[in-house]
């Protein structure tokens, strides 16, 4: 692998540790029930909405008042347009499926299931009124699925991911909704909502076992790497690329702890030899990142070096774990560097 790619991979490794975490633990009854409602999925995400809104988000925004004001304004607009009920979810789970496309990356098809102090029928009624055209209705397993069309901004999203292709300002997106019970709502890609209602398949037990759920967990994910990461990200034909191709499962979570946030990741390989290679690679990348930044005269780069050095990397059989605890002071410094682009 070229040197510049090694350095980029080092940054990616630290970023992974800074945004994800995973450990096996028994899920709570509420989240377990929601995950059990999902159809078979390549990946699953769980969110504790209230802990995120009331605990983790304030921690993230504490060091950047300007960004906090922007987020608060965005939430207010969201509530006015999408109904304030959507922020009353207690828990939300997401089941991600993929549909192969002849040319290009697979098409991602999600289904969201949320439960909370809300009236699912009211949320659907308000969503239906926002549909570009009248929603169509489908009866599936004695449940009414509402298939609606919404105009969503496309040009700004394309700019955000660096796409130079010509795209319209807005595109029409189909979203299906169904009330699974009075306070439980499923919505997302129509085919996936239908699968959730029919409930003929379920989530892989291994994926479920990797979804961390503790009193401090804000978000968690687990996914199975069936067809290889190469379909989604470019992988070179070298040691690191081949090691990543041998990943079988990936999982993670973010936790809100007493003094900040904690993140970690679990990467499960097909065999112990691949896991050992991945562990050695990550330790090497950690050493490179620390060497590059540790001797800097800049305070921010020295902080990055300290954070990189504090990342814990370990291997147990086929599993490699990566974890990082971010104190609130470091969160404030990192988020304080985020600058808003003036429109």
**More confident: 118 or 262:** 262
Give the model's pLDDT for residue 158. Answer: 47
Mean pLDDT computed over 79-102:
79
Give the model's pLDDT for residue 150. Answer: 85
Give the model's pLDDT for residue 26. Answer: 45
Render pLDDT for 12-47 as a digit per residue (tens, 0 to 9): 444 444 444 444 444 445 777 899 999 999 999 999
- 245 with 228: CB under 8 angstroms? yes
Render pLDDT for 288-297 as a digit per residue (tens, 0 to 9): 988 888 888 8
Ranking 207-211, 228-232, 297-301, 337-341 by mean pLDDT, the lowest is 228-232
Mean pLDDT computed over 239-248:
76
Give the model's pLDDT for residue 103. Answer: 63
Percent of the chain whose predicted confidence (pLDDT) is above 70 = 78
- 55 with 256: CB under 8 angstroms? yes
**More confident: 26 or 282:** 282
Give the model's pLDDT for residue 171. Answer: 75
Render pLDDT for 50-72 as a digit per residue (tens, 0 to 9): 999 999 999 999 999 999 998 88
- Residue 107 CA to residue 100 CA, distance in Å, equals 6
Mean pLDDT computed over 132-153:
90
- 264 with 289: CB under 8 angstroms? no
For the entire predicted model, the pTM comes to: 0.81
Render pLDDT for 176-218 as a digit per residue (tens, 0 to 9): 999 999 999 999 999 999 999 999 999 999 999 999 988 999 9
Give the model's pLDDT for residue 173. Answer: 86
Of the pLDDT bands very low, low, confident and very high (cuts 50, 70, 90), residue 165 is: low
Q: Where are the beta strands (DSSP E) in the chain?
A: 43-48, 89-99, 107-116, 136-140, 143-153, 170-181, 184-188, 217-224, 247-257, 260-269, 312-316, 319-326
Model confidence at 267: pLDDT above 60: yes
Model confidence at 7: pLDDT above 50: no
Ranking 149-158, 170-179, 314-323 by mean pLDDT, the lowest is 149-158
**More confident: 146 or 88:** 146
List Cα–Cα distances, 289 to 154, 284, 301, 309, 318, in angstroms: 36, 9, 10, 9, 25
User: What's the mean pLDDT when you consider all of the chain?
Assistant: 82
List Cα–Cα distances, 58 to 13, 118, 241, 339, in angstroms: 26, 23, 38, 17
Of the pLDDT bands very low, low, confident and very high (cuts 50, 70, 90), residue 228 is: low
Tokens of 169: 């300002």
Tokens of 22: 């995973």
- Residue 332 CA to residue 81 CA, distance in Å, equals 31
Of the pLDDT bands very low, low, confident and very high (cuts 50, 70, 90), residue 116 is: very high
Of the pLDDT bands very low, low, confident and very high (cuts 50, 70, 90), residue 73 is: confident
């Amino acid at each position: 692998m070229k040197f510049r790619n090694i350095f980029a991979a080092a940054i990616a490794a630290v970023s992974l540790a800074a945004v994800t975490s995973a450990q096996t633990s028994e899920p709570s009854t509420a989240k377990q029930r929601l995950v059990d409602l999902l159809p078979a999925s390549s990946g699953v995400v769980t969110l504790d909405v209230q802990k995120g809104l009331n605990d983790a988000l304030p921690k993230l925004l504490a060091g950047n008042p300007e960004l906090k004001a922007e987020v608060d304004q965005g939430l207010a607009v969201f509530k006015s347009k999408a109904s304030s009920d959507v922020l009353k979810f207690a828990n939300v789970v997401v089941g991600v499926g993929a549909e192969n496309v002849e040319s290009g990356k697979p098409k991602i098809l999600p289904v969201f299931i949320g439960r909370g102090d809300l009236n699912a029928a009211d949320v659907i009624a308000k969503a239906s009124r926002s549909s570009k055209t009248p929603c169509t209705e489908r009866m599936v397993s004695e449940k009414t699925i509402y298939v609606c069309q919404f105009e969503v901004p496309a040009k700004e999203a394309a700019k955000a991911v660096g796409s130079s292709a010509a795209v319209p300002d807005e595109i029409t997106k189909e979203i299906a909704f169904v009330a699974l019970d009075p306070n439980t709502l499923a919505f997302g890609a129509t085919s996936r909502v239908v699968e959730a209602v029919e409930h003929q398949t379920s989530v892989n037990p291994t994926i479920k076992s990797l979804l961390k759920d503790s009193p401090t967990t804000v978000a968690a994910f687990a996914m199975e790497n069936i067809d290889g990461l190469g379909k989604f990200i470019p992988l070179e034909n070298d040691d690191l690329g081949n090691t990543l191709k041998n990943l079988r499962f990936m999982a993670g979570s973010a936790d809100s702890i007493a003094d900040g946030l904690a993140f970690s990741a679990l990467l499960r390989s097909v065999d112990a030899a691949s896991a050992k290679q991945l562990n050695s690679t990550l330790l090497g990348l950690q050493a490179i990142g620390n060497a590059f930044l540790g001797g800097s005269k800049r305070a921010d780069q020295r902080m990055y070096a300290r954070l990189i050095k504090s990342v814990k990397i370990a291997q147990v059989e086929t599993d490699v774990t990566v974890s990082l605890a971010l104190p609130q002071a470091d969160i404030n410094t990192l988020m304080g560097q985020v600058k808003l682009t003036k429109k």
